[in-house]
Amino acid sequence: MENFTFYAPTLFAFGDGEEKNTGALVRRFGGTKVLLVFGGGSVKKSGAYDAVTASLEQAGLPFVELSGIQPNPRSGKVYEGISLARAEQVDFLLALGGGSVIDTAKAIAMGVPYEGDFWDLFTGVAPIRDPLPLGTVLTISAAGSEGSGNCVITKEEGNLKWGSPKSDDLRPRFSVLNPRFTCTLPPYQTACGAVDMLAHICERYFSNTPDVALTDRLCEALMKTIIEAAPRALEHPADYAARADLMWAGMLAHNNSCGVGRRQDWASHQIGHELSAFYDCAHGASLAVVLPAWMSYVMPTNPARFARFAVEVFGCEMDPLNVERTAKEGIKRLKSFFRILGMPVTLGELGAKTEDVPNLVIHRAEKGFPFGSFLEIGPAQMVDILLLAEE
């Protein structure tokens, strides 16, 4: 295990009805005027908006609203939010929604105290300093932004879908996690969320760092739980137990509890972001296509790790005479699982075109090569992985 620091100072209020404490939590973390950020109609339909605004009112907290955040959130809403937050002199951001809403709120939080273009903080021109404090009320189990220290925004000029640098100051002060809110999710979004969580664990699990037995087992327990709970949630959308497991798993998958002390990969996410930038597809759907292809591509560099995945996560039988066969079986089972969830698993099913592959790679060059650590990925490797996703 490598040395690490782990600082994750988010308070989690978990369970049915916990959103009633939102106003008190904002007060506890020093907020006196709130910018409430949310997406389209789902929070109004589910009752989450009414419950949260009632709680703010009960705590005597004035608030202004920024709504209409779209999936794969764009920079335009960030600029709008920064102006609004400054004009209204808010001192706390409250995100009500999923990764797209939370990430927009995080980008606003870091942009308000910075005089220049907030995108400078993404490119590294300036460091992230003293972001406004932020809380979340989560409505979809997926991205893990409720516990993570970064955000992902698409800069409209240049269509760049980039993650921000990591900063523990960007971790929410609190996150309210009521699994009941996720019962209104359409099946497609439930499935996308499960894929994203699994991908967050795989990006950490497939590591060449030795002696990480504890985090290996944490990763395996989380993956098994998600693989068991997601089909239940799809079959019975109101299954509270399944929704609760998914919600906490999504947080643990990405607050880095499972990633400490080991080199992490993140190549599948980098490639997935290009697909989302080009085709505006859901983040989880892009990963359902990329992750199995990435696995097939890198597996020969360490078949034993993939064989362990097959045995521990999918219960495959180890073939000691042919470890690669076992490794391949695990990848096949993951891809079949994505299909069972109703996810696309090929470029075509995602609505992507093979002839676009060179352009995807050229576009990625703006952020730079290589990426990934299990195996370093340069332009040629990215092409090969995407072509493996053809079928």
- Site residues for ligand NZQ, 250-279, by CB under 6 A, read 254, 269
Determine, following the binding rule CB under 6 A, whether residue 144 of this chain makes contact with ligand NZQ: yes
- Residue in 10, 53, 104, 139 binding ligand NZQ, rule: CB under 6 A: 139
Q: Which is nearer to ligand NZQ, 251 or 389 (CB)?
A: 251
Among 92, 122, 181, 206, binds ligand NZQ (CB under 6 A): 181
Quick one: which segment of 41-49, 117-125, 290-298, 338-346 binds ligand NZQ (CB under 6 A)? 41-49
Please report which helix (H) or strand (E) contains residue 155, including its range.
strand 152-155
For CA atoms 35, 36, 40, 41, the dihedral sign is negative
Smallest distance, Å, CB 315 to Zn ion? Answer: 25
Least distance (Å) from ligand NZQ to the CB of residue 256?
A: 10
Q: Give the C-alpha separation, 207 to 328, whole Å.
A: 17
* 77 interacts with ligand NZQ by CB under 6 A: no
| Residues listed for the chain | 391
DSSP string over 218-253: HHHHHHHHHHHHHHHHHHSTT-HHHHHHHHHHHHHH
Question: Is 72 a residue that touches ligand NZQ (CB under 6 A)?
Answer: yes
Report which of 39, 119, 115, 32 is spatially closest to residue 71, judged by C-alpha positions.
39
Interacting residues toward Zn ion by CB under 5 A: 196
Q: Which range of residues in 86-94, 150-158, 216-224, 240-248 is near ligand NZQ by CB under 6 A?
A: 150-158
Query: Least distance to ligand NZQ from the beta carbon of 118, Å?
Result: 15
- Could you say which of 109, 152, 218, 223 contacts ligand NZQ (CB under 6 A)? 152
181: nearest Cα among 284, 39, 35, 385: 39
75 contributes a contact to ligand NZQ by CB under 6 A: no
CB of 322 to ligand NZQ, least distance (A): 34
Residue type at 357? V
**Distance between CA atoms of residues 99 and 147, nearest Å:** 11
* Shortest CB 93 distance to Zn ion, Å: 21
Interaction between residue 172 and ligand NZQ (CB under 6 A): no
Site string for ligand NZQ, 95-114 (x = CB under 6 A): --xxxxx-x-----------
Residues 132/138/140/145 CA torsion (nearest 10 deg): 30
Q: Which is nearer to Zn ion, 25 or 229 (CB)?
A: 229
Q: How far is the CB of 13 from ligand NZQ (least distance, A)?
A: 17
Shortest Å, Cβ 324 to ligand NZQ: 29
Residue 148, φ and ψ in degrees, nearest 5: -100, 165
CA 299/CA 308 separation, integer angstroms: 12
Smallest gap, in angstroms, from Cβ of residue 164 to Zn ion? 14
Distance CA 391, CA 344 (A): 11
CA–CA separation, 391 and 206 (whole Å): 23
Backbone angles phi, psi at 345, to 5 degrees: -125, 5
Candidate list 9, 17, 30, 41; residue touching ligand NZQ; CB under 6 A: 41
Q: Give the whole-angstrom CA distance, residue 328 versus residue 289.
A: 16
**Given the rule CB under 6 A, which residues bind ligand NZQ?**
39-43, 46, 71-73, 97-101, 103, 139-140, 142-145, 148, 150-152, 181-182, 184-185, 189, 192-193, 196, 254, 269, 283-284
